[in-house]
Structure 1
Amino acid sequence: MYQIRQNTVVEIVNDHFQLFPPTTTPATILISQAFKLFSSLVYISMDEPPLAWHPPAISLSSPPIAVAQGRPRESEEYPENFFRCAKWCPDGGCALDVDLVFRQPSPIVDFAWYPGATASNPSSYCFLASVRECPVKLLDASNGRLRASYKLVDHRERQIAPHCLAFNCMATHLYCGYEDAIEVFDFQQPGEGTKLPTTPSKKSRDGMKGIVSSISFCSDYSGLYAASSLASAIALFSEQTGADPVAYLDGMAAPVTQVKFDPMRPHILYAAQRRSNEILCWDVREPLEVLRSFARKSAGTNQKLLFDIDPAGRWLATGDQDGYISMFDLHTENSEPTIKFKAHDDSIGSLAFNPVDATLLSVSGSRHFDDSSVISHSGGSESSDSSDSESEWDEDDEGGYMRNYIRRRRQPIRPLVVDSSVKIWKFSPGEDVRQTDTGMQNQTMSENSGTG
């Protein structure tokens, strides 16, 4: 005898329903998808235990080894491009093909996978992209086709690109953070959303002011989420209360660039700050006191350095400005890293644990400016001591002399990129490094830094 769990069927039906156009009737959707759904279901024998997901086991008895690495494609237009962020597909095994490049009209501010994205289900294989001065785009991860758009318009009727994107736990609503507000969209109904102001007015000192830089939802499906701003503030909100904050956290001294809830302990929140040498931790049940902190070297860069926590909630991984990765054991009171190893030759912009495998994804790169030389567009250099103008003395009609200026435009200083690379680190020894020139053979979705 075989049985099918009812909640599993409902979840799959809802997953397909969300990704169809709003004009399609629910009856048509359910009928057209019935055969596909039940033909792809996994039947569980009553004599066998139900299948359960287990987080990947990570052992730090020895340093991880790099099993794959790659670099961004060379571009004559933007030779200083580098990887800023990379995110695993939610299924942990498939993402954008390295040969697929989706050109956008402006720099990409942020992106986020659809929580149920998987290459085996084309309808769910999509992601969101926040592009400067454009609506939020829902793009097909297979071919870059635009599926839907979500508009944020300011009082001057200009398109706003949110600085952060986040789905709620049920993946029914999209939360977008920008200056002094959070916009909430019904994911099934593209168009305009609902604005949740984080401060009463521009002149008011109340609330959470500044650009909302990060949003993270609590993993207990309670609707609680944390939002941070570049004005050194973190506030807790609830989906049920709307714009009214639940609580404010204390202890920040710099702009907050990232917040993240512990996946296994929903009352624990972590936050990173710009130009700060520590990652802070709070128990949201006592938001006025910092619970503990983790040291990292990032005070010498303005770059956003993202950390991550493994799915089991055991390890916190973070990179620093010198290319080192530090991993902290969250199940102990020790604030020193359990392991620290050299991973890149430049700042590590982001780290991401694989949700199904014991691997870690890291990206590096930053812009360096050499003040001693001025780099021309052709790749050559000329001395920075050269003058912007040259003068000559000419005789005028009355026998006097006048000075003529010849102005020359000085070439702009072009940044240098020391190490722009992506690497996959495996926490079990015995595999060799596989290097490619065009990118990762292990499929990952990565974001090149544009002109911004």
Structure 2
Amino acid sequence: MEEPPMEIDEAINDEEIEHTDNIEKVAENAEVNEENDYVYPSLFTSKTLLELSNSTWSRSKKARGDVQPYLRGCKWSPDGTCCLAVVNNDGVHVTELSRDLYSGNVSTDRSIDVMDSVIHVKESGLIYDFCWYPGMNSSVPESCCWLTTKQNSPIQMWDAFDGSLRCSYRGFNAVDEVEPAISVTFTPDGRQIIAGYRKCLRTFDVDRPGRDYLEHSLANSASCIDTNGNLVAVGSWNTSISLYNINEMGAYKSIGKMHGHGGGVTQVKFAADGLHLVSGARKDHRLLVWDIRYYRRPLNVLTRQVDTNQRIQFDISPCGKYLVSGGTDGIIKVWDENQVKWKTSLDCTDVTKDNVTYKFPLHRDSCNSVSIHPLRPIIATGSGQHHLINPITEDNDESNCDDKEQSETKDMKYSEVTENCLVFWWIGEVPDLT
């Protein structure tokens, strides 16, 4: 990875984000660097999404009847060459972006690609969280890796070329038992791993696998984490969000807590400007936008459909203008800052008012995953959720075993409304669209 210019690097390293002025200086430096390197394309200009590629998962014939494969999250790699997806009861899958989509535009007559997983890691147990190495570059094989944390296991680092296990980072509880992390992320420079546990945060050095870590005690479980420079936002199942500042020694200094959600916080994400934070929660139809300089109350409230405890992902474009969220109704919602000032305070007194810019009904089932491509106008969406079996079956007629099996299958919600797929969509300009 290339090192940033010396003047920008020194300016950022010398800043200690303890008050508003320092936070704004870091954000301004980041914006200048971003403008000099790359100009992100405009999104949703055609108001139409074109399906580019898709991949689906189905239950094996030998699997138990209660096994339901569905996506639980997807994330583009930092270099944009592939997408990492977690499938319930089927581990982790890596799918590649088609070569013809690396540059140029697409036409309406382009055929839809059916994707196969280039890497499949058949992990057992429930995967709590996953993330890419921030400096991942396909031309540098040693940088191509991701982290997962799952039930009854330590944090594990996997190779993105062959799916092999590189190393693990182990946290231990008070009785010296391996404790699984609930959430995990890299620091922006990729040198450290911040993991959230039931009662603490633990910081691991990437180049020192094992059980060496720094620990910071928490009052509640760290359900989700995001970092921005020296700032760390930690969501909790008790509906609160905590802000911390990390110094050079790795010590955490509490900045404050934010309250406003009605359920456990499932995702927090900093905007590109470094001044705004967006959060979502389980069984909470609101996305809360926070100004970290004045964090006592939400700056804005955006609405989406979340009817389950499942984590429903949202994403912010690298340019910071677009906020996209999935929903249990299968509709993705888009807030465009050029048309809706979602980063500023709006009139939220009318709870029936929907201030969304665009709506796209893309899936028949819950759209639980969205991820915007880091370089191209492409978005990845994933669908699926756990469906309960209806305990009441109507089978009054005497029939043979085959008829009975068909009747039971018909009463299963899973067999009727399920959709578990990963789809890539074009969200840029379509020249030949009439």
Question: In structure 2, what is the Cα distance between the partners aligned to 1:355 and 1:382?
Answer: 47
Query: Does 2:223 align with 1:213?
Result: yes
Partner residue in 2 for 1:195: 215
Query: Does 2:150 align with 1:131?
Result: yes
Query: Does 2:296 align with 1:288?
Result: yes
Aligned residue among 377, 380, 392 for 1:358: 377
Question: In structure 2, what is the Cα distance between the partners aligned to 1:143 and 1:234?
Answer: 37
Q: 1:107 to 1:253 in 2, by over 3 A?
A: closer
Q: CA deviation at 1:383?
A: 7.4
Q: CA deviation at 1:382?
A: 7.6
Q: CA deviation at 1:430?
A: 4.9
Q: 1:431 to 1:84 in 2, by over 3 A?
A: farther
Amino acid at match of 1:273: A
Partner residue in 1 for 2:337: 330
Question: In structure 2, what is the Cα distance between the partners aligned to 1:431 and 1:181?
Answer: 52
1:138-177 per-residue CA deviation (whole Å, 9 max, x = no partner) reads 1111112121110011123322221211111211110011
Specify the SS of the correspondent of 1:81: coil
Task: Note if contact 2:46-2:429 (Cα within 8 Å) is conserved in structure 1.
Answer: no
Aligned residue among 174, 179, 182 for 1:163: 182
Which moves more between the two structures, 102-111 or 172-181?
A: 102-111
Question: In structure 1, what is the Cα distance between the partners aligned to 2:175 and 2:367?
Answer: 37
Bigger proportion of residues as helix:
2
Task: Note if contact 1:66-1:423 (Cα within 8 Å) is conserved in structure 2.
Answer: yes
Question: In structure 2, what is the Cα distance between the partners aligned to 1:309 and 1:349?
Answer: 15
Q: CA deviation at 1:373?
A: 4.6
Question: In structure 2, what is the Cα distance between the partners aligned to 1:270 and 1:187?
Answer: 27
Specify the SS of the correspondent of 1:249: strand
Partner residue in 1 for 2:51: 66
Query: Does 2:430 align with 1:420?
Result: no
Q: How does 1:38-57 map to 2 (within 5 A)?
A: 52-57=37-42
Task: Note if contact 1:250-1:287 (Cα within 8 Å) is conserved in structure 2.
Answer: no
TM-score (norm 2): 0.73
Amino acid at match of 1:287: Y
Partner residue in 2 for 1:28: none
Alignment RMSD (CA, Å): 2.9
Task: Note if contact 2:185-2:193 (Cα within 8 Å) is conserved in structure 1.
Answer: yes
1:330-372 per-residue CA deviation (whole Å, 9 max, x = no partner) reads 3533671111011101111110000010011100001111324
Q: CA deviation at 1:216?
A: 0.9
Question: In structure 2, what is the Cα distance between the partners aligned to 1:285 and 1:244?
Answer: 16
Query: Does 2:101 align with 1:94?
Result: no
Specify the SS of the correspondent of 2:294: coil
Query: Does 2:159 align with 1:140?
Result: yes
Gaps of 5+ in 2: 7-34, 84-93, 96-116, 347-354, 395-401
Specify the SS of the correspondent of 1:380: helix
Q: CA deviation at 1:57?
A: 2.3
Q: 1:190 to 1:301 in 2, by over 3 A?
A: same
1:217-265 per-residue CA deviation (whole Å, 9 max, x = no partner) reads 12xx3x01110101111010011173431111132332111111101x2
Aligned residue among 187, 191, 197 for 1:172: 191
Higher relative contact order (CA 8 A, sep 6+): 1
Task: Note if contact 1:94-1:119 (Cα within 8 Å) is conserved in structure 2.
Answer: no
TM-score (norm 1): 0.70
Question: In structure 1, what is the Cα distance between the partners aligned to 2:132 and 2:277?
Answer: 22
Q: How does 1:292-331 map to 2 (within 5 A)?
A: 292-298=300-306, 300-331=307-338
Aligned residue among 69, 73, 77 for 1:85: 73
Task: Note if contact 1:271-1:281 (Cα within 8 Å) is conserved in structure 2.
Answer: yes
Question: In structure 2, what is the Cα distance between the partners aligned to 1:428 and 1:329?
Answer: 14
Partner residue in 2 for 1:204: none
